[in-house]
Structure 1
């Protein structure tokens, strides 16, 4: 068995959490080819991404509270089993309707990895150290979205788009073996929660009254909506409109993820010296500046790959800071229901992102305009959430936090 506080345990949690970006990023270069193979339009293929995020969001409302009662490990085992089966359904889907169903089920199972990985870090490391550990976890898992589009492009070239989902099934099988044979349970028995609906609803209601929880969640969700707008529209903008090959697209995506990776390293390095909220001010300013720059370039008629990739590198650097610090901030006051807090955090994050991605697909006009404007709005709303909810809270007198109900 792995030791709970060992580097190997952190790496395992990062690998479990990486399932989310792998399932979204690996098939991005194949989206135009999938539309052609399944005899459907770009909007239907983009819907597979939005539907995945919607299913991911919905599943989080259940897997977190259930894990607060029965433990993180058994819920992750169930989730990864469903993800494996759904990946096989996607690989052998005869039409886009079956693919949509497979993606929804894939999301429903895959949600267990990121949600319970976050909760396990809070279980093990506590409120202060969790931000630093989540930053280094994010640095480790940044390799997934960096490599995923390149791997996806290679699989598309040599084996077809179906092979992307077969590889995801293999990844899920490996994670299942690790969960079953090596991973200990991080949630102690004395912190288990009731799964009675009234208790779950009471905890969600309590979390929605916490100004800090709402503030940190909106900072993250708005930034993630900007990222998801890029995921939803970038392959059509950069490949179909700007003429990049799938491999060039994957290479550009790697540069963008390098920005995210650098942001997470910066977050971990300066987490103690600068503090969570100073880091978030710097990061949200970066996201707002980067998104606005991309939108201005697009509306000015600068339709070149560098005008998309360059600003998004800066946006992802900022989001690399935002992601772990906002997660830690939202979970910090809620140790007795970390699973529920992580679930609600993820549900709001994914719901806002899915809506943004659906709008990008709906209003895509063949250019980079819609995508760039959506990314700019994500950065600006993230900055506004920090200034309006977190900075103002810190300037006011402290307010006692409510505690989670246990039964």
Structure 2
């Protein structure tokens, strides 16, 4: 093993022995903050539009502006952190996120709100990307899989809980209070990061890179089957998760007549499926191997997607919920294992690899969300998820053959 890697693992063992609970909680919080800050405002969008005197159709940039800034910003965060370390980008990003959240909280016009959302995204993308890079700095092998399982569970679970939290905020301080709440969470995470984690990318492992070298690094990763196979599998399967959150309100509220609170409770209940699968994934991988368990996850997701596709109009809540459980179970297995497989071989490029992985995820999430939203039905969502599951399976099989 390379000396610097040995040092990093030794550092990781020391940290985990003393502060495993706190360390994992901070990494999970960094991973989940972006999804939380996005989905918490979904129940409030009609009220925001009313208070700002705009139509619902004009609210699109509030979401799309966030996703675009998030996708672009994270491509720069990884290389910067590989050169200068993790601490400065993480803390600077959280400060920027807090500033953007406060801009949103006091926004009196739609344009100011959109600006605040862009600032939010430019800051929080660092937390999301570097939570994975920090895990790779400290751990490898099964320890990395376990750590990523917990952080990826948090990232996948945040969209489930945040609409329910947003609905609860509507009965109290309202949508402006939601932005103040996420700003406070950002502040708490910054303090916790300083106290618990600190710098994890040692100076002897840092490398200066020009813009051209960064682009070359991305190109090399995109052609490296050790990275691109599992990264693509994770990206399309997680893209399906975002498509599920985008299309399900039309199914459950439009066709089945659920209230916003009931919808929030439905989303929150799905978190337990993702949590259980994420906890199970490293144990199964230890016994049968990450590639095999990832392929099993793809097949479970495919079974749920096909069931949803066969369910037609989605007017049977129990049937729809069962199909969702199968898909989320498979996604919960693929996500942490595929992430560990993609980042594992690149200890000296953890930031770069994590950035490209994040960019792929956001691209797939954006495209699949748009397709599912246009379809607006259970069968349409099932079709999107079927394609995602099949593509993820093919990518993992190809990756397994290379390995």
SS in 2 for 1:158: coil
Alignment correspondent of 2:228:
214
Alignment correspondent of 1:386:
396
Q: Is the 8 A contact 1:284 1:322 kept in 2?
A: yes
SS in 1 for 2:108: coil
Q: TM-score, normalised by structure 2?
A: 0.88
Structure-1 separation of matches of 2:43 and 2:79:
35
Superposed displacement of residue 170, structure 1 = 1.0
Alignment correspondent of 1:253:
267
Superposed displacement of residue 55, structure 1 = 1.9
Alignment correspondent of 1:183:
197
Alignment correspondent of 1:405:
none
Q: TM-score, normalised by structure 1?
A: 0.87
Q: Is the 8 A contact 1:226 1:377 kept in 2?
A: no
Q: 1:210 to 1:269 in 2, by over 3 A?
A: same
Pairing of 1:265-276 with structure 2 (within 5 A): 265-276=279-290
Alignment correspondent of 1:86:
100
Residue 373 of structure 1 is aligned with which of 370, 378, 383? 383
Residue 328 of structure 2 is aligned with which of 316, 322, 327? 316
Q: Is the 8 A contact 1:82 1:105 kept in 2?
A: yes
Q: 1:355 to 1:143 in 2, by over 3 A?
A: closer
Structure-2 separation of matches of 1:376 and 1:51:
28
SS in 1 for 2:171: helix
Superposed displacement of residue 296, structure 1 = 2.2
Structure-2 separation of matches of 1:113 and 1:209:
26
Range with bigger deviation, 72-81 or 168-177: 168-177
Q: Is the 8 A contact 2:294 2:396 kept in 1?
A: yes
Superposed displacement of residue 28, structure 1 = 2.9
Q: Which has the higher helix share?
A: 2
CA offsets per residue over residues 270-317 of structure 1, 9 Å max, x none?
Answer: 2311211011101111112212221221xx333244344332222111
Structure-2 separation of matches of 1:251 and 1:320:
19
Please report the RMSD computed on the Cα atoms of aligned residues, expressed in angstroms. 2.4
Alignment correspondent of 1:150:
164
Residue 149 of structure 2 is aligned with which of 128, 135, 139? 135
Range with bigger deviation, 230-239 or 268-277: 230-239
Residue 230 of structure 1 is aligned with which of 229, 241, 244? 244
Alignment correspondent of 2:15:
4
Query: Is 1:340 aligned to residue 349 of structure 2?
Result: no
Residue 127 of structure 2 is aligned with which of 93, 108, 113? 113
Q: Is the 8 A contact 1:29 1:249 kept in 2?
A: no
Structure-1 separation of matches of 2:149 and 2:126:
20
SS in 2 for 1:18: helix
Aligned length: 388
Query: Is 1:205 aligned to residue 214 of structure 2?
Result: no
CA offsets per residue over residues 353-395 of structure 1, 9 Å max, x none?
Answer: 112223444x255x445444323332232223223x224424x
Range with bigger deviation, 306-315 or 33-42: 33-42
Query: Is 1:30 aligned to residue 44 of structure 2?
Result: yes
Q: Is the 8 A contact 1:11 1:140 kept in 2?
A: no
Q: Is the 8 A contact 1:150 1:250 kept in 2?
A: yes
Alignment correspondent of 1:399:
none
CA offsets per residue over residues 308-365 of structure 1, 9 Å max, x none?
Answer: 433222211111111111111111111111100101111111112112223444x255
Q: Is the 8 A contact 2:92 2:123 kept in 1?
A: yes
Alignment correspondent of 1:356:
368
Give structure 1 stretches of 5+ with no counterpart: 395-407
Superposed displacement of residue 116, structure 1 = 0.6
Structure-1 separation of matches of 2:314 and 2:157:
30
Q: Is the 8 A contact 2:282 2:337 kept in 1?
A: no
Structure-2 separation of matches of 1:385 and 1:99:
39
Q: Is the 8 A contact 1:50 1:358 kept in 2?
A: no
Q: Is the 8 A contact 2:145 2:337 kept in 1?
A: yes
